[in-house]
Chains A and B, each alone.
Chain A
């Protein structure tokens, strides 16, 4: 954006712009789902604070890694009998 186009007063003049800002770069731990174990209960999709769990037709499809900050809430909330999500070091 050109400097002259900076909106007055720091106002963000439209909605939905958070989608354009990648917060995936903040991540240290990356969620990895084992689809053999996953029961598609979608508790991870409900609990994710960044709407970074992708669900389609009632099925858990994986993660939006452009916006997942790696907080690990999904891995904790995945039911104890299932434990289909593991957090792995990004460096690995």
Chain B
């Protein structure tokens, strides 16, 4: 990813940057219930509301279930709606997440990735958003503060895209990205307003001249047809994401795609990994490249919908791939990223060898030496043509 300094260079935490992005979008309604490590997004945003810097209606609620319920009500009413949460908060929203997507309401939620209890833990892993991976929400993942800031704007456009109309989640790593200060490049308010455009709701409930019903019951004669529509919308979301990312790049000079590759073109082995740990992996790659080892990285940015054909095409010349999940599906068969990347490679004529590793749960450090060790395992797989251990935990 090429981050070109444009204007407004400033040091911000991930939370401050995303709250600032939300301020620049100036949504109509922001229902929220703060939770670590996303608390500062809600704190900062409520300051913007108190200081009159936005025209947003901030709704303070008694739980995340209520926060998402208020998001759904406001979005059905015709408002542009945003919120933020983490971990147990997202878990408490669960049943409402499906209602938001089933009703095709383009709500944007910042999920600051944090482990799920038990045991209770406030630090980073992806068990919260990965648990919501089948809820019908678009999911964007970000490595850096800059990317989390930029993804917030792109999420609005993708979610509200006429061919999509699905809610979207902007995911980035708790504490690692949410609380670390990075020097980032801000856009101007007017540039953001031009990029996201005015929101035009479909079938808003507040249009009392044209009364509509949301949430009606559907029986076996219709339910599957609505789910089919939703599924088709999720398929179209990939092209919509590409279109929006291209427009973003054209306007602001920062290049984004469905995924990022790093020194992958001629790589024999590669690590596939989400979010901030990709940065650590890149340092390992640079060190190993100095020793002449052909190693590379693929970091998915769009996880829902899953761009499986593009990922398969990008990995087809790699001899061995390790997929690192910061979550355990507790299926005794590897994490979600592992399973989906592995499935994506199935139709290739010559498939890379592939194994899965679980790392960094509950904020356990993933260090350069951990990435180097995975690349060493990968090179042994290439030498022997055999995978000794398909799945295991690392960073224990």
Contacts and interface: CB of A to CB of B under 8 A. Distances in A.
B354 to A, nearest CB: 38
A9 interface: yes
Interface in B176-227: 202-203, 210-216, 218, 222, 225-226
A9 B105 contact: yes
A14 B212 CA distance: 5
B165 interface: yes
B203 A13 contact: yes
A12 to B, nearest CB: 4
Contacts of A3: 225
A6 to B, nearest CB: 5
Interface in A1-44: 3, 6-15, 17
B213 A11 contact: yes
B102 A8 contact: no
B161 to A, nearest CB: 13
B165 to A, nearest CB: 7
A52 B393 CA distance: 65
A10 B203 contact: no
A7 B225 CA distance: 10
B304 interface: no
Interface SS of chain B: loop
Contacts of A9: 102-105, 165, 214, 226, 229-230
Q: Which of A10, A11, A14 has the most B CB atoms < 10 Å from its CB?
A: A10
B182 to A, nearest CB: 38
Contacts of B230: 9
Most chain A CB within a 10 A radius of its CB, from B105, B210, B216: B216
- Bin the interface of chain B by size: 20 to 34
Contacts of A17: 213
B100 to A, nearest CB: 10
Contacts of B103: 9-11
Contacts of B211: 14-15
B226 A6 contact: yes
Nearest to B103: A9
B226 A10 contact: yes
Nearest to B101: A9
A38 to B, nearest CB: 35
Contacts of B226: 6, 9-10
A10 B222 CA distance: 9
Contact of B202 (A8, A12, A15): A8
A12 B229 CA distance: 15
A15 to B, nearest CB: 4
A8 B213 contact: no
Nearest to B227: A10
A10 B216 contact: yes
A11 B212 contact: yes
B286 to A, nearest CB: 47
B201 to A, nearest CB: 11
A10 B215 contact: yes
Contact of A14 (B202, B210, B225): B210
Interface of B: 102-105, 165, 202-203, 210-216, 218, 222, 225-226, 229-230
Q: Which 4 A-B pairs have the closest CB atoms?
A: A9-B104, A15-B211, A12-B213, A9-B103
22 contacts: A3-B225, A6-B222, A6-B229, A7-B203, A8-B104, A8-B202, A9-B102, A9-B104, A9-B165, A9-B214, A10-B214, A10-B215, A11-B103, A11-B203, A11-B212, A11-B214, A12-B212, A12-B216, A14-B211, A14-B212, A15-B211, A15-B213
